[in-house]
Amino acid sequence: MTQNTLKTHIQTALTALEALLEQLSGNEIPLDASAPKNIADRSPTEALQNDLKERFVLYAADQGAVVALDPDWVPLFSEAMFGEEMDPNADGALDLMQEISSQGFGTVQSTLAEEGLTLPEVQFDTAAPGQAPPSPDEAAWLVPFTAQRGGGELDGLVLLPDGAEASSDASTATESASQEAAAGADQSSGASQPAGGGAPSSADESDGVEVSPAAFSELGDEEISGDGDSGTFKLLADVDLEVRVELGRRELPLADVLKLTTGSVVELEKMVGEPLSVYANGRLIAEGEAVVIDEQFGVRITNLASEGHREKAFF
């Protein structure tokens, strides 16, 4: 795989990941990658190993791919996923990185597939800072990248195996397919020419298919049925509402409730003479005073809640 080819694929992947982060967090988080460095002929350096130990490492052992992220990426991902920042040393940080790696790889995989590059199905394992990361012996390319967040910069790196052989096989297959298609086209062209170099006969010509653009009738101006004044609560006149009159309230501990017996008195928070509260569907709509009508209790309305507050009782 050439550096230019890898650079193009990485830029496509970064664009897809930017869209994913923006979708999760609602904020634009620019990502930028440096030019890929070929490290296939170099043995893993001690500096690289130490660098991996200080980061969260996402790796696919069977594919030789490694993504190493600075611990400060954890608050970014947790805020995007859960709406609040998580400490990099928290117990759930490793699980969060595992989830992000799955979503990120799935996004990159589907995006590159649209460009004709099929990535294999992989399962990423994770290692927290301080744990022994996988050895990057199979790494052929090193790609440092950064993200801009809140005026600061987060950094990370990607280690990729060499895909030159697969790329070469794909190129060979593509070239062979092109040659076969060209040969088939030549044979088809030769077969269509009659002897003597004359024009092709009408039997060899395809019947023409008439194609015309679809035509749709105009929908016209938007109209709202009714006169605009009929949308009142008259339509709800027959709807039953639960109306409740509250004399007062009192909160008691469970221990005091268990002590209640016949003859116990529960003191309410309302003073004598204070109005009663009238609720409809659990919303306060009025205040009143207790009255006696024949042999039944009633309530005389003395004050109405605001019209807007009363209308909310219907919803």
Give residue-wise pLDDT tens across range 150-168: 778 888 888 887 764 444 4
Q: Is the pLDDT confidence value at 50 over 70? A: yes
d(CA 100, CA 58): 10
* Of 66, 69, 85, 67, residue with least CA distance to 77: 85
Q: Is the pLDDT confidence value at 205 over 60? A: no
The pLDDT value recorded for residue 63 is 72
More confident residue, 52 or 42: 52
DSSP state of 48: H
Q: Is the pLDDT confidence value at 306 over 80? A: no
* Two tokens, residue 310: 């009363």
88-101 exposure pattern, b = at least 16 Cβ within 10 A, e = fewer: beeeebbebbeebb
Which of 75-84, 135-144, 149-158, 288-297 has the weakest average pLDDT? 135-144
Confidence band, pLDDT 50/70/90 cuts, at residue 197: very low
3-state helix, strand, coil in the chain (%, to 5): 35, 20, 45
d(CA 145, CA 155): 6
d(CA 121, CA 138): 19
Cα distances (angstroms) measured from residue 145 to each of 27, 98, 159, 172, 279: 19, 19, 11, 32, 61
Strand duo 125-127 + 65-69: pairing: unpaired
pTM higher than the cut 0.85? no
Give residue-wise pLDDT tens across range 218-259: 766 666 555 545 555 667 778 888 899 988 888 889 988 998
Confidence band, pLDDT 50/70/90 cuts, at residue 313: low
d(CA 77, CA 75): 6
Strands of the 296-304 sheet, one edge to the other: 243-246, 276-280, 283-293, 296-304
Give residue-wise pLDDT tens across range 216-225: 677 666 665 5
Which of 11-20, 283-292, 304-313 has the weakest average pLDDT? 304-313
| Phi, psi torsion values for 285, nearest 5 degrees | -120, -20
Signed CA dihedral, 99, 160, 46, 51: sign only: negative
